[in-house]
A and B are shown apart, each in its own frame.
Chain A
Amino acid sequence: MDQTIICRCEEVSLQDIQNTAITYNCSAREVKLRTRAGMGYCGGRTCRPAVDAVLEAVTGEKAGHDIPMKVQPPVRPVSLAILGGKMR
Chain B
Amino acid sequence: MYDVVIIGAGPAGLSAAIACRESDLKVLVIDEFPKPGGRLLGQLHQEPNGEWWNGIKETQNLLDQAEKLHTEITCGVSAHHIEKTEHGYMIHTNIGVLDTTNLLIATGAAETAVPIPGWTLPGVMSIGAAQVMTNVHRVRVGNKGVVVGVNVLSAAIARELQIAGIELHSMALPISNPVTKNHANPRHVMDGLVRIAHLAPSAFLRFGSKFAKSAWVRNIAVNFYPKSGVKMWGMPIHIRKAIVQINGTEKVESVTMCDITSDGEIIAGSEKIIDVDFVCIAGGLYPLAELASVIGCPFQYVEELGGHIPIHNEQMETPLNGLYVAGNITGIESAKVARAQGTLAGYSIAKNIDKIQQAMKDVKSTRDSASIQFHPDIVEGRERIHRSFQTYEKAQ
Contacts and interface: CB of A to CB of B under 8 A. Distances in A.
Given A14-B178, A53-B178, A63 B301 contact: yes
Nearest to B308: A67
Contacts of A73: 80-82, 92, 294
Contact of B299 (A45, A67, A74, A75): A67
Contact of A71 (B92, B286, B294): B294
B80 A75 contact: yes
Interface string B121-146: 00000000000000000000000000
Contacts of A11: 120
A54 interface: yes
Given A50-B113, A74-B80, A74-B81, A57 B178 contact: yes
Given A45-B290, A50-B113, A75-B81, A2 B177 contact: yes
Interface string B302-342: 00000110000000000000000000000000000000000
A3 B120 CA distance: 12
B258 to A, nearest CB: 15
B179 A87 contact: no
B294 A72 contact: yes
Contacts of B361: none
A75 B290 contact: yes
A80 interface: no
Interface in A34-61: 45-47, 49-50, 53-54, 56-58
B28 interface: no
B27 to A, nearest CB: 21
Contacts, number: 89
Contact of B94 (A50, A54, A78): A78
B81 A70 contact: no
Interface residues of B, number: 33
A88 B293 contact: no
A58 B178 CA distance: 9
A68 B293 CA distance: 10
B96 A47 contact: no
B291 A75 contact: yes
B165 interface: no
B117 interface: yes
Contact of A76 (B80, B82, B120, B289): B80
B179 A54 contact: yes
Contacts of B117: 2-4
B301 A85 contact: no
Contact of B115 (A14, A65, A75, A88): A14
B308 A74 contact: no
A28 interface: no
A49 B80 contact: no
Nearest to A2: B177
B25 interface: no
Interface in B93-122: 94-96, 110, 112-113, 115-117, 119-120
Contacts of B293: 67, 70-71
A5 to B, nearest CB: 6
A50 B286 contact: no
B300 interface: yes
Interface in A16-47: 18, 45-47
B286 A49 contact: yes
11 contacts: A4-B115, A4-B117, A5-B119, A14-B178, A18-B178, A45-B290, A49-B307, A63-B308, A67-B308, A72-B294, A75-B81
Top 7 nearest A-B pairs (CB, nearest first) are A57-B178, A74-B80, A73-B81, A71-B293, A76-B80, A50-B179, A71-B290
Interface of B: 78-82, 92, 94-96, 110, 112-113, 115-117, 119-120, 177-179, 181, 286, 289-291, 293-294, 298-301, 307-308
Given A14-B179, A73-B80, A76-B80, 9 more contacts: A2-B117, A8-B120, A47-B115, A50-B179, A54-B178, A57-B178, A65-B298, A65-B308, A75-B291
